[in-house]
Chains A and B, each alone.
Chain A
């Protein structure tokens, strides 16, 4: 993950407008991360707002010598998403219709249809995993974070993240087998 320049964080001490730079640096990634969980624009916007307002309110608690700022921010986003899952109980209703888009292949429509079906079934398998596993996949493939960064966000060791990733792939395989895909 590309971290923001520490000078910008330091500048916040004197200049509150520096938060604008912090926001610009992270907003797209945080929004995308949250959208991977909510799969709807309205909730993604609400939760993104909530994350940045919390970050601003709690800015005084961030320690430059501690975790990188991005990990700190992702941790706020992670907790926000966990609370959202808990409060709304929507995990099971993340819909299959919310399948991420794909670039269409105009020259080979049959292949696109087949790929689309495979993608749909994989998406069903992902949605059926527990929140920790979905979270790991979102942070790894949606955000491109390292295992160390994911560990800091999810409050686990790097070894625990590797083991969780292994279990997640096994879980996906099992779901795909149930659907006759493997």
Chain B
């Protein structure tokens, strides 16, 4: 029970940190589960430091960004000239349909092979 609450407290602080609002003072989180304060305090402190370290945003180079934009639009126009809805039907077939069709095809092939071998075994008997 305590374990789940402890994880909830850590998750709450992480959400507050990740939203960029700045977490509340550590005591506010410790008060929720005072019986585990000794264990929680260092974890809350590590989370604060990790958040500060990892929230630095790195942006892509402008030339790369523009070049990729151009390439994607060229491909989009080539692949979906009239929009995605008007693209050839085979492009919009979902993976599950493809897997289903492959499974049916495989099953038919296996059934064919089984029928062939059964037939082969029966033939000599017919001519005996």
**Chain A residues close to B by CB (< 8 Å):** 11-17, 19-20, 23-24, 27-28, 31-32, 35-36, 41, 44-45, 48-49, 52-53, 56-57, 59-61, 100-102, 118-119, 122-123, 126, 137-138, 140-142, 144-147, 161-163, 165-166, 169-170, 172-173, 176, 182
Question: Do A169 and B47 form a contact, CB below 8 Å, given A45-B60, A48-B68?
Answer: yes
The residue from B15, B18, B65, B73 contacting A16, defined by CB atoms under 8 A apart: B73
CB distance from A147 to the nearest CB of B (A): 6
The A-contacting residues of B in range 1-53, CB under 8 angstroms, are: 6-8, 10-11, 14-15, 17-20, 42-43, 46-47, 49-51, 53
- Closest B residue by C-beta to A102: B56
Q: Is the CB of B59 within 8 A of A32?
A: yes
The B interface is mostly helix, strand or loop, or mixed, namely helix
> A28: which B residues are within 8 A, CB to CB?
57, 59-60
Flag if A20 contacts B72 (CB, 8 Å).
Answer: yes
A147 in complex: contacting residue of B15, B91, B94, B95, CB < 8 Å = B15
B residues in contact with A122, CB < 8 Å = 46, 49-50, 53
Q: Which A residues are CB-close (under 8 A) to B112?
A: none
Chain A residues with Cβ below 8 Å from B93 are: 60
Is B122 among interface residues, defined by CB-CB distance under 8 A? no
Given contacts A126-B50, A142-B55, contact A166 B6 (CB under 8 A): yes
Residue in contact with A12 in the complex, picked from B51, B69, B84, CB distance below 8 Å: B84
Q: Which of B43, B73, B84 contacts A173 (CB 8 A)?
A: B43
18 further contact pairs, Cβ within 8 A, besides A61-B94, A123-B53 = A13-B85, A14-B82, A23-B68, A27-B69, A52-B68, A53-B75, A56-B72, A60-B84, A100-B54, A118-B49, A126-B50, A141-B51, A142-B57, A161-B11, A162-B10, A162-B11, A166-B7, A166-B10
Cβ-defined partner of A27 (8 Å) among B51, B65, B94, B95:
B65
Pairs across A and B, CB under 8 Å, 11 listed: A12-B84, A13-B83, A17-B73, A20-B69, A20-B73, A28-B59, A53-B72, A56-B72, A122-B53, A140-B18, A144-B19
Q: Determine the distance from Cα of A15 to Cα of B8 in the docked complex, in whole angstroms.
A: 44
- Asked whether, in the complex, the Cβ of B53 is within 8 Å of the Cβ of A119, the reply is yes
Most chain B Cβ neighbours within 10 Å, of A41, A100, A145, A147: A100
- Chain B hits for A137, CB < 8 A: 50, 54
B contact residues around A41 at 8 Å (CB): 61
> Is B106 in contact with chain A by the CB < 8 A criterion?
no
The answer on a CB contact under 8 Å between B79 and A182 is no
CB nearest neighbor in B for A62: B84
Residues of B within 8 A of A57 (CB): 79
